[in-house]
Amino acid sequence: MADNTETKVIQPGKGEGDNQPAAVPNPEKAPLPDDVPNGVPASKDKIKLEPTMSLLNGVTIIVGIIIGSGIFISPQVVLSNTGSVGLSLLVWTFCGVFSLVGALCYGELGTAIQMSGGDYAYFLLAFGQLPAFLLLWVTILIIRPTAQAIVAITFGQYLLEPFFGSHCETPESVVRLLAALCILVLTFINMYSVKMATKVQDLFTAAKVMALIIIIITGLVYLCMGNTENFNNSFEGTTDDPKKIALAVYGGLFAYGGWNYLNYVTEELKDPARNLPRAIALSVPVVILIYVLANIAYFTAMSPEELLISKAVAVTFGQKLLGPMAWIMPISVALSTFGGVNGLLLTGSRIYFVGARQGHLPDAIAMISVKYKTPTPSLVLTCILSLMYLLSPNIITLINYFSFVTWTSVGISIAALLYLRVYEPERTRPIKVNLLLPISFLIACIFLVVMGIWAAPMDTLIGIIITLSGVPVYLLFVYYQGLPKFWKDFVYTCTVYIQKLFVAVKEEKDD
């Protein structure tokens, strides 16, 4: 503290003579003080998340999150299940068009409900508190921190690749140390400035797109030189097993994942009614084009058999066609994943922030830094959870438990769009997609969920059990307001401590 005077954070409506502070179980029912602790003067500007993201930032967030490590290291998932080059390319195209349809539907949702939080916000508005809380529960418990940890580990692995090579095992402890450093550095940047975080996203998105352009141009030049043998009889060996085709589609859709993440930061996007749909319309078709051309380049340089045995397709591509410049590929994957972690931190922290603002998480998570106007406590929470999962040897297994949750939540959000069309027809909708798009997309989501349950019933069951474990948590800590006084006092004390630690206050609402 700056001086020796005792600092008190006094709750509105409570006198200084009262010895015990009242509990603050719900920010809407009993707001915390807006006083700035530790003698820091109040800002003349309102303390809230500001709309600082431009259309370009929106495009780089979507492109930067979609293009992670998948297109560089695992297109063989699609090939191994389709059985042929021709069907593989068709699946990549179909998955891109499918993602574009979903993104357009989310464009309507994001402009009709201009609230950050993505699926959580849509669940909350259309279907109420409990479904929204359960989505938040599995998101905070498993989905987001494990995804961030895995992408950060991939960053560490490929950053070390030029030093150890493909024939040497990279030290696991060093990989995880680099992953932790990646998460810590990006958390600091996101805490310091939203503008700086979006600049990082812009820079690393440009870097990964340039790497893919190098792959595409090199592959097309090699193709134009007459190396077309891998495209002869391109549908030979095509599978007729619907289960394998469904798994191929799952693999393609995984690589396109992230097309809906701009909806998590809607409130921080300038003029979201115009820029959200524009960002979607610009970014998703670009990714489709890049992905299809990159796969054509891969098949130009490698036979299907070579591609299937490759541990990292982009690295193998570089070794075959780039010669002494092959080191560019592992570095490109590292840059790609670094930007991916940044995008996940930027958008994921907003889910926790919005959840706390609605009373589904402790009030402290909904605080905003007075100086930097960033959701510092939620970013720190995101960082801590991600670092904890770096200690787990079986992170991917945890994600498998929730593969069905992803498409269930997307399907329910599309159902929310249809629900609002029927029950709130007067709601302002800056863009309005043809009803055939959300209806067909919802049917496809149901199919994907059913196929996921059929393909991995035990993983699905475990995921459902963990999801439902949030019901008693909701009933005890959110719905039921009669918690013991000692617990209320403890929560309040922790909240005030976090306010002082981060010099953070509740968001100020517009008049």
**From the first residue on, what is the mean pLDDT of each consecutive set of 10 residues in the chain (511 residues)?**
39 38 39 40 66 94 88 83 94 95 95 93 92 94 88 90 73 92 97 94 92 92 90 89 85 89 93 94 95 94 89 85 86 90 93 94 93 94 93 74 83 94 92 94 91 82 91 92 87 93 86 57
Q: Judging by beta carbons within 10 Å of its beta carbon (0-12, 13-18, 19+), is residue 19 exposed, middle or buried?
A: exposed
Intra-chain end-to-end CA distance of the chain, in Å: 33
Q: Which pLDDT tens digit goes with each residue over 484-500? A: 889 889 999 999 999 99
* pLDDT for the residue numbered 54: 94
Q: Which pLDDT tens digit goes with each residue over 462-489? A: 888 999 999 999 999 999 877 888 988 9
Contacting residues for 192 by C-beta, under 8 A, at least 6 apart: 372, 374
Cβ pair 191, 379 in contact under 8 A? yes
Q: What is the mean pLDDT of the chain?
A: 86
Please report whether residue 76 resides in a domain: yes
478-507: string of b/e by CB count within 10 Å (b at 16+)? beeeeeeeeebeebbeebbebbbebbbbbb
d(CA 319, CA 189): 35
* pLDDT for the residue numbered 12: 34
Q: Which pLDDT tens digit goes with each residue over 325-360? A: 888 888 888 988 999 999 999 999 999 999 999 999
CA angle 251, 254, 255 (to 5 degrees): 95
Contacting residues for 404 by C-beta, under 8 A, at least 6 apart: 449, 452, 453, 460, 463
Residue 4 is given by DSSP the state: S
Please report whether residue 471 resides in a domain: yes
Contacting residues for 221 by C-beta, under 8 A, at least 6 apart: none
Please report whether residue 24 resides in a domain: no
In the chain, % helix, strand, coil (3-state, to 5) comes to 70, 0, 30
Please report whether residue 206 resides in a domain: yes
Residue 324 is given by DSSP the state: G
Domain count, the chain: 1
d(CA 351, CA 141): 12
Please name which of 86, 80, 457 lies closest in space to residue 241, comparing C-alpha atoms: 80
Please report whether residue 25 resides in a domain: no
* pLDDT for the residue numbered 162: 80
**Tokens encoding 496:** 């005030």
Q: What is the CATH number of the domain that holds 318?
A: 1.20.1740.10
* pLDDT for the residue numbered 68: 80
**Tokens encoding 318:** 């570089």
Please report whether residue 397 resides in a domain: yes
Residue range of the domain that includes 181: 55-506
Residue 169 is given by DSSP the state: P
Torsion (CA) 104, 107, 108, 112 in degrees, nearest 10: 180
6 φ/ψ angles, rounded to the nearest 5 degrees: -75, 130
Please report whether residue 6 resides in a domain: no
Please report whether residue 211 resides in a domain: yes
